[in-house]
Chain A
Amino acid sequence: NAGVTQTPKFQVLKTGQSMTLQCAQDMNHNSMYWYRQDPGMGLRLIYYSASEGTTDKGEVPNGYNVSRLNKREFSLRLESAAPSQTSVYFCASSPLQGSSEAFFGQGTRLTVV
């Protein structure tokens, strides 16, 4: 089992460029999440999807959009990248909200110059 797969692993963008971070899980999980991790700030929730067809904002959604394409895939889009979005991005999934562990992907290290 691959678990949670994120692509790409590394990316450098110029300010104003757009890109989509991809996340796919093969565990038939219902819930999926996007987090960003910055030094001293922990893991901050950007968006989450409780189930296929639903998405909700987390703590820091500004500047991002998401798509729950199907049960397996949950993508994160930066429409116009800014240096403040330089971060490590983690995707996670869990079978059920409220009662089960979350499995994390290996992360995407994004630098916006």
Chain B
Amino acid sequence: QQPVQSPQAVILREGEDAVINCSSSKALYSVHWYRQKHGEAPVFLMILLKGGEQKGHEKISASFNEKKQQSSLYLTASQLSYSGTYFCGTEGGGGSNYKLTFGKGTLLTVNP
């Protein structure tokens, strides 16, 4: 079952902030975040493991609330290069084999 992402799309001006949310109906072991530019493969941004740790990558950070099975990606002072589709991927469900399942994506457009 795919995690649910919101919003589906967001348009920003350079320098503005955005938050992308990801939620799952199942218990999670980890949450991944990826960015995909048009016509290219998804590229890894960060992974958050069970434990609620917040991680950062340049001006992009994320949090993971394992009790609520939710994660949020925070983009601050957005740059033109941040444009793309952001995917959250989740692993969990118990057992020893974890499926890495992705949401439908959030299209982020940063304008000058």
Contact = CB atoms under 8 A, between A and B. Distances in A.
Interface of A: 33, 35, 40-45, 48, 50, 54, 56, 58-59, 90, 92, 94, 97-107
Given A35-B102, A42-B102, A104-B42, A98 B1 contact: no
A101 B98 contact: no
Nearest to A100: B47
B47 A42 contact: no
Interface of B: 1-2, 5, 29-30, 32, 34, 40-44, 47, 49, 87, 89, 91, 96-105
A48 B99 CA distance: 7
Contact of A50 (B2, B32, B97, B105): B97
Given A42-B2, A59-B101, A97 B41 contact: no
Contacts of B44: 101-103
Nearest to A109: B39
A48 B47 contact: no
Nearest to A6: B41
Given A90-B41, A103-B44, A107-B41, A43 B87 contact: yes
Nearest to B42: A104
A41 B47 contact: no
A40 B103 CA distance: 10
28 contacts: A35-B102, A40-B104, A41-B104, A42-B5, A42-B102, A42-B103, A42-B104, A43-B89, A43-B102, A44-B2, A45-B99, A45-B101, A45-B102, A50-B96, A54-B97, A59-B1, A59-B101, A90-B42, A97-B91, A98-B91, A99-B49, A100-B47, A101-B32, A102-B100, A104-B41, A104-B43, A106-B40, A107-B41
Point out which of A40, A43, A101 has the most chain B C-beta atoms below 10 A from its C-beta: A43
